[in-house]
Chain A
Amino acid sequence: MEMTTAELIGIWVAAALTFCALSFLYKDNPFYQVAESLFVGVSAGYGAAFVLHQVIYQDVIIPLSVSVQVVSEEPSALLQVANRILPCILGLMILARFFPSIGWISRWPLAFIIGYGTGFNVMFIIQTFLLPQIYGMVKPLVEVADPTVTTPDVVMIGNVPLMATISNLVLFVGVLAVIAYFFFSKPHTGAYGKFTKFGVWMLMLGFGATYGNTVMARMSLLIGRIQFLLDDWIQGAMGINLPG
């Protein structure tokens, strides 16, 4: 595939930055420091450019310029103008944090954001953290298979698939045990202590599985970088054909 000069330079730059970042695996060194510092700056620049276009330009400048033009003919446009100028004033008030003597002014916009965010999150928390967990628990533990359908690989007791039922029990009892473990108003001793111990086992299995999953997700990112170096840089930019 033909590459433009910009693409060619880009791939070399990307490969160099990839090596700079990976060099940290040996030890902290100036190449990694350069890549890290550049990444911080570029990320901040990206964030600033994103906000400038997606918020300041799209949500403030364009609607404001349109509303100002029609405000003499359509008085309702005045509300649109106010709804753009007021949040900008509140936003500017946040910048008062730079001046300690008037820093208290920044509390108003922060209170606005925290207040509406909290009110919004109350319902969000109930809808996503609490209710779905309860819904997930309230269902039959014992699964009964359709007797007309034969499943030779599944171990059955009568019409009950054994593994599915055991798994449901593990989930149900596991959740109760984990909740019991986090209930500190009662000493974890005796039968209750043994029950909470089962909760700890569930937590350990869950944390282990999550950890393994996270490691493999990061690995896939690393594989992506190695593929970039092999395919785009060595084969594409350098023109060296690799076997396989």
Chain B
Amino acid sequence: MRKQVPFLIATIMGLAMVVQFFVPAHGLVEMQAIVLLYGRIIGAFALILGIVSLIRVNWVRVKRKSENWPYALITIIGFIIMFLAGGFGGFFIEPEAPAGEAEAVAAADEAAAWDFDFGAGIDQERNPVFGWLFNYVFVPMDATIFALLAFYVASAAYRAMRARDLTAGLLLGAAVIVMLGRASLASFWWDQLLSSRIDIIPTLGEITEWLMVYPNTAAKRGVYFGVGLAALGQAIRILVGLERPYMAGTSD
């Protein structure tokens, strides 16, 4: 019950998906759609699991007043505000009324202010409060925190990339060429000083493109072969029950 049933569920579902691919009969294709729906709904509950864990961990920090607890409180407040705005923000739907009819606009405005439209949800047009939070809180932080990675990788590269030997030199050289090739000013000066004067020297854009298309593809293709075969092997191990990741994290 505790060990064999999960194994049977995983194997039957996995084999059913494989069979469905090779035998795309009407009933099997429908079955796939239903299984995907099941997966989507179960996945939603898995997200709830993650979110409850996040809130619980942060709430414990606040309750115990442990170190830096105010930041945990900020996380909880941020979650609650965004969730309420996105999940139940339908009270704030935009009024829809014929333009120019002042009374109709006012009436619709008044009605709309208290009209609950649960379906508005994360539709930014129908739920401007969520739209505001998304555009002015979520997006700026998302973009800035990801932009910070440019500095992290640059500083990591400064420490790690030393042209100690030929292989390290190739790595460094390819990185520098691609970075310069993607910067319009560097490409402009390269082309002005070298490519336009000496015929045999290609433009920086051409060198970058060559690196991306040929050596980069060769490396990726070789790696993809390995990744594909390893993933295929792992999938087969799961299907035959040699690997049981669904058993992790729970005791018998």
Contact = CB atoms under 8 A, between A and B. Distances in A.
Contact of B238 (A97, A118, A224): A118
Given A59-B37, A170-B215, A207 B10 contact: no
Contacts of A59: 37, 40-41
Contacts of B16: 116, 119
A242 interface: no
A184 to B, nearest CB: 11
A91 B136 contact: no
Contacts of A199: 222
Contacts, number: 426
B235 A41 contact: no
A239 interface: no
B93 interface: no
A95 B249 contact: no
Interface in B202-249: 208, 210-229, 231-232, 235-236, 238-239, 245-247, 249
Contacts of B226: 179, 182
Contacts of B135: 10, 14
B17 A209 contact: no
Contact of B222 (A14, A52, A107, A179): A179
B75 interface: yes
B228 A52 contact: no
B86 A50 contact: yes
Given A41-B82, A103-B250, A133-B224, A110 B6 contact: yes
Interface string B152-168: 01100100000000111
Contacts of A107: 2, 5-6, 246-247, 250
A25 interface: yes
Contact of B145 (A21, A45, A57): A21
B176 interface: yes
Interface in A94-144: 94-95, 97-98, 100, 103-104, 106-123, 125-126, 129-130, 133, 136-137
Given A46-B134, A59-B40, A130-B232, A112 B9 contact: yes
A61 B87 CA distance: 14
B167 A201 contact: yes
A56 to B, nearest CB: 6
A208 B160 CA distance: 12
Contacts of B167: 200-201, 204
B239 A219 contact: no
Contacts of B250: 97, 100, 103-104, 106-107
Tell me the dominant secondary structure on chain B's binding face: helix
A43 B138 contact: yes
Contacts of A204: 167-168, 170-171, 174
B147 A91 contact: no
Contact of A216 (B183, B238, B245): B183
Interface string B57-88: 00000000000100110111111111111110
A98 B45 CA distance: 13
Contacts of A114: 10, 238, 245-246
A42 B44 CA distance: 18
Given A55-B40, A201-B167, A98 B18 contact: no
Contacts of B121: 49, 52-53, 57
Interface string A23-35: 0110000000111
Identify the interface centre among A86, A137, A201: most chain B CB within 10 Å of its CB.
Answer: A201
Nearest to B252: A104
Contacts of A94: 42, 45-46, 49
B218 A174 contact: yes
A192 interface: no
A42 B18 contact: no
A25 B49 contact: no
A157 interface: no
Contacts of A52: 83, 86-87, 121
Given A10-B136, A37-B75, 17 more contacts: A6-B132, A18-B144, A21-B148, A39-B141, A39-B142, A42-B78, A45-B79, A107-B6, A107-B247, A111-B9, A115-B9, A205-B171, A205-B219, A209-B211, A212-B182, A222-B150, A225-B140
* Pairs of residues from A and B, 3 with the lowest C-beta to C-beta distance, nearest first: A206-B219, A49-B86, A41-B78
Interface of B: 2, 5-7, 9-18, 21, 34-35, 37-49, 51-52, 54-55, 68, 71-72, 74-87, 118-119, 121-122, 128, 130, 132-151, 153-154, 157, 166-168, 170-179, 181-183, 208, 210-229, 231-232, 235-236, 238-239, 245-247, 249-252
